[in-house]
Amino acid sequence: MTDGPVIAITGTSRGIGLAMAGYFAGLNYRVAGCSRGPCSLKAAGYFHTPVDVTDEKQVRGWIRAIKNQYGGIDILVCNAAMIPPASLLTATPLDIAEGTVRTNVLGTYLTCREVAKAMMLQRSGRIVVLSSMAVGLHEEGAAVYAASKSAVVEMTKVLAKEVASMGITCNVVAPSVFRASAIERLGEAVVKHALEQLTIKREVSIEEICGVIRFFAAPESGSITGQVVHMGLVA
Amino acid sequence: MLSEEHALQLIVDSLSSLRRGGLIQADLTITGGTVLLGSGSALDSIAFVTFVTDVEERLNRATGHELYLVLTDIHEFNDEDAYLSAATLARYIAGMPELRATAA
């Protein structure tokens, strides 16, 4: 059993979330991950809970379980997100739009709300929300997804002001292309097209993404809040 | 089961703890009539949210139940003219269905 910082990460069954969970477990963090489905990660210090982040009761139960097991939460990474297939706004079915907003916006809201309350009691904490390069690219076919990722940026900035006096910081990292399952699902052509529009025209590694999270989480970053780091892109 | 007196004591303990932690500046003497929310309350919005979360934690430890305080479930609570006293909250806690079911 490790005694490193406690980090809660949503959406750890695949993609960036799974890679982040493995990265932080490898650094002896105590990692509490969740996702709707099972997680393949078997690492010391990692414990997984099946949670649908859009379900208030499940999110509350998960946060309480982490607190009961570890005594608190040092860092929250809101990663769980739904990436719908690229589709023009005029061709996007309502259920796809609703599902995307529900997972990406309301899931982030619920998780941040419950963890922020726990951190308020602790009088400390770091919240990092994942946005996306989609916010800066204004790509055709990504209207709903980009809107949802733009919404969490604004939500995080407002939350940052609300909880600043409680020793909690809230920041955003917007990764560019990470070769996760979601990106692979979009296809090589979409990935290639996205890369061409970036300032730094290559994929980012999990070490680079987690490096930004570690920067936000560092004790020396206590005065950095409400900020957005766009990776690979001049936003 | 949790009596109103026990619930009020939880509220007193929580407010005392928040005061010791500096979240409440006023020198409170806590009684059933102490205003928690509304005109005359010593708690600002952040302190109130922290207080509610702290009471939920204490309830969880005291009863072993996953209990959450939902202000709009309080019969006397009018969210258009928000006002909540310690006695009202204690009465609501003591009457929570999960705790009544335990007693039965």
Q: Tens digits of per-residue pLDDT, A37-62?
A: 999 999 999 999 999 999 999 999 99
Q: Give the pLDDT of residue A213.
A: 98
Residues A112-135 have a mean pLDDT of 96
Q: Give the pLDDT of residue B2.
A: 87
Q: What is the band of A73 on the pLDDT scale with cuts at 50, 70, 90?
A: very high
The mean predicted confidence, pLDDT, of chain A is 93
Does residue A164 have a pLDDT over 80?
yes
Number of domains in chain A: 1
* Cβ-Cβ contacts under 8 Å, B66 against chain A: 60-61, 64
Q: Give the pLDDT of residue B8.
A: 94
Based on its alpha-carbon atoms, the radius of gyration of chain A, rounded to whole angstroms, reads: 17
Q: Do B53 and A123 touch (CB under 8 A)?
A: no
* Helical pair A107-122 and A56-70, crossing angle rounded to 10 deg: 30
- Cβ atoms of A228 and A235 closer than 8 Å: yes
- Cα distances (angstroms) measured from residue B66 to each of A26, B1, B56: 33, 14, 8
Six-digit token pair at B26?
């006023």
Domain holding A213, by residue range, is: 6-230
Quick one: DSSP state of residue A7? E
Q: Where are the domains of chain B?
A: 4-103
With an 8 Å Cβ cutoff, is A123 touching chain B? yes
Interface of B with A in 45-64 (CB under 8 A): 46, 49-50, 53-54, 57, 60
Residues A86-107 have a mean pLDDT of 96
Handedness of CA A170, A176, A180, A186 (dihedral sign): positive
Q: What is the ipTM of this complex?
A: 0.81
Min CA distance, B84 vs chain A (Å)? 20
Compute the half-sphere exposure of residue B82: CA atoms within 13 Å on the CB side of its CA.
Answer: 11
Interface of A with B in 130-149 (CB under 8 A): none
pTM of the full structure: 0.91
Phi and psi at A58, nearest 5°, equal -65, -40
Assign residue A70 the CATH number of its domain. 3.40.50.720
Q: Which residues pair with A31 in a beta bridge?
A: A7, A46
Q: Do A163 and B53 touch (CB under 8 A)?
A: no
- Span of A95-104, A153-162, A215-224, B25-34 with lowest mean pLDDT: B25-34
Mutate to test the interface with B, among A117, A122, A123 (most CBs of B within 10 A): A117
Q: Cβ of B4: how many Cβ atoms within 10 Å? A: 16
Low-confidence ranges of chain B (pLDDT < 70): 79, 101-104
Decide if A46 is catalytic.
no
Number of H helices, E strands in chain A: 9, 7
Q: Give the pLDDT of residue A1.
A: 59
Q: What is the band of A154 on the pLDDT scale with cuts at 50, 70, 90?
A: very high
Instruction: Please tell me which residue of chain B has the smallest CA distance to A159.
Output: B46
Q: What is the band of A181 on the pLDDT scale with cuts at 50, 70, 90?
A: low
A120, part of any domain: yes
Q: Give the pLDDT of residue B58.
A: 94
Q: Give the pLDDT of residue A228.
A: 97
More confident residue, A17 or B26: A17
* Cβ-Cβ contacts under 8 Å, B60 against chain A: 64
What architecture is domain B4-103?
A: Orthogonal Bundle (1.10)
- Cβ atoms of B27 and B81 closer than 8 Å: no
Residues A194-221 have a mean pLDDT of 95
With an 8 Å Cβ cutoff, is B21 touching chain A? yes
- Cβ atoms of A24 and A210 closer than 8 Å: yes
- Listed residue (A48, A59, A46) closest to A13, CA to CA: A48
Does residue A183 have a pLDDT over 90?
no
Six-digit token pair at A141?
């076919």
Number of H helices, E strands in chain B: 4, 2
Q: Write the Ramachandran bin of B40: left for phi over 0, alpha for psi from -120 to 50, otherwise beta.
A: left
- Listed residue (B48, B46, B45) closest to B86, CA to CA: B48
Give CA–CA dist A78/A130, Å, rounded.
6
A1, part of any domain: no
Q: Do B50 and A60 touch (CB under 8 A)?
A: no
With an 8 Å Cβ cutoff, is A72 touching chain B? no
- Cβ atoms of A217 and A126 closer than 8 Å: yes
